[in-house]
Amino acid sequence: MPIKIYKPTSDGRRHSSVQSFSDITKKKPEKSLVVFLTPSSGRNNQGVLTVRHQGSGVKQFYRLVDFKLQKFDAEAKVLAIEYDPNRGPRIALVQYTDGTKSYVLAPQDLNVGGTIMSSQKAIEAKVGNRMPLEFIPVGMFIHNLELTPGKGGQLVRGAGLAAQIVGKEDDYVLVKLPSGEVRKVLKECAATVGSMGNPDYGLIRWGKAGRNRMRGIRPRVNGKNMNPVDHPHGGGEGHNPIGQKRGPQTIYGKPAMGVKTRKPGKWSDKFVVKSRKVKSV
């Protein structure tokens, strides 16, 4: 997906870019695979704000993407590559041999007319096929990775991302994640072969605040620009450096900016072989 730049006819257009959508083959979504979700805008089920700086954004349908692909050993043909407003990568509309249609994440090099398959045993390791990690060759790039067998893909689902299988030992497979972390994953967990599509998504320059409001992102204000009653960094005469007394803090008074917040002895620590924080030489 190349990035398109328009002639700067206004201030908002001058420093912005858009997706070209040249890879989209179908404009309207499949009616049976969309639902309307009421925006929660960062609030929990009691209406209490738990995530700041989120708004409702533009109304849009939610595409029911299948992250599990548990229709095993049934070949599915790619009917269309579609745009999904809820995520960065594209989605593919596929149809199984029994006529069932479904949405799946579209990896790179998956085109209309191609076929994909999901299985619990060893099958051809081609782009779009899904199988347990123990059957995927070492060195292959994968996405939509499970952490619990049968739960569905949880990791490596963003545009242009890919993890790599770097080894196998006993009941685990060593996977190098996009962050650089190497961790053990049960060999029964499934993953899809290939890299995520739409790799140029991260190159988009949104240009103006209004486009972020359409995406559901509200403005953020620096704590040093607030009053002392509103933020620990607030107050003072003019702009002062933050953290002179107790160090940088969040709006709730907890340490921030470089302070480790991960609890020691976290249950998943034993699966991390190499931390993403360690710089490789």
Classify residue 29 by its DSSP letter: P
233-278, pLDDT tens digit by residue? 998 888 888 877 788 999 999 888 888 878 888 888 899 999 888 7
**pLDDT > 70 fraction of the chain, expressed in percent and rounded:** 98
Which residue ranges make up each domain of the chain? 3-201
* 128, 141, 212, 263, 274 from 278: Cα distances, Å: 32, 22, 33, 18, 7
pLDDT of the residue at 168: 95
pLDDT of the residue at 1: 66
Question: Is pLDDT of 281 > 60?
Answer: no
152-186, pLDDT tens digit by residue? 999 999 999 999 999 999 999 999 999 999 999 99
224-233, pLDDT tens digit by residue? 999 999 999 9
Query: Is 0.85 topped by the overall pTM?
Result: yes
Other Cβ atoms closer than 10 A to 143: 26
Q: Tell which residue, 143, 132, 31, has the closest CA to residue 87.
A: 143
pLDDT of the residue at 236: 87
Question: Is pLDDT of 140 > 80?
Answer: yes
**Regarding the domain delimited by 3-201, which CATH topology (the fold level of the hierarchy) does it fall under?**
OB fold (Dihydrolipoamide Acetyltransferase, E2P) (2.40.50)
Q: Are 30 and 101 in contact (CB under 8 A)?
A: yes
pLDDT of the residue at 279: 66
